[in-house]
Structure 1
Amino acid sequence: MANFKILSELCVMVPNKNQLLVYIDGEDNLTIEQFYTSISSKLGFPDTFGNNLDAFDEMLNDLEWLNENQIFIVFRNYDDFLADENDELREVLLTIMDDAAEEWKSDSGTKTLTILIEPSELGVDDLETIGISYEDEN
């Protein structure tokens, strides 16, 4: 099963008590600094989070502080996500998320990480460019 899913419409999922649904709105995350602030707040990263790619990778591979076992990161307005940065940085973040999701799969099923992208041609292009498999609801 792929770690990414391209949705055909806006996400309408209602999480249960074992699920955490985190929305990342591209319109509010134009820079990497805005993304770090947003993701660390929504996933409750410890104060030791270093606001860099290595720290982001480390946090996604830990998540021990979360009670929920299923974590969904939903990208809304993906076409605007990191618009003030270069495409390569966005692709590195996607790779980190995919790698973390794979790591969780091999960790006796303690947690799962799934990344959902609301309808976006850029999202499809990014995933295909870096060779990340995805499910497509279309």
Structure 2
Amino acid sequence: MTSEPDKSDTLLLQSFEKVCTVLEKENGFLLAGDLKEVVALLPMKQEEMQTLEDILSSREEQAAGTPHPPVLPPEAEDAAKRFGALVKTNRKLLKNAIDAQNALIKLIVVDAAQETSTGYVASGRYAIRTGPQGALALRSDV
């Protein structure tokens, strides 16, 4: 004899599924390097994560007065494991995307800073040179 699933169990399972679907989409976009789609997906991700957090908080509050907290149904435990794996992958992909953006910004900033260089010029004077630096330059004294 099996009992019908509790309404809160059903809501929890549905919420896990929605969050996992959003995380799978986001991970796909991150793998493809499509950051515009990742940004567009952010409001949906925040909404689904907040819903999941609210459901979990509500379950904790309900279980606070009972001597034995309710056990998650096996489907919800499986969904939680899937969620954990997707979050781990999502963090890794987000970190890679952030690292790539930081590397790009560093290249731009460092290259811009190197546009101005100081040193001795062909005439023997100390000068500050601005503009692109070429491998070959014409000397004014030749």
**TM-score of the pair, normalised by structure 1:** 0.32
**Larger % of helix: which?**
2
More strand by share: 1
Return the index of the structure with the highest Cα Rg.
2
Q: Using CA pairs under 8 Å that are at least 6 residues apart, name the structure with larger relative contact order, 1 or 2.
A: 1
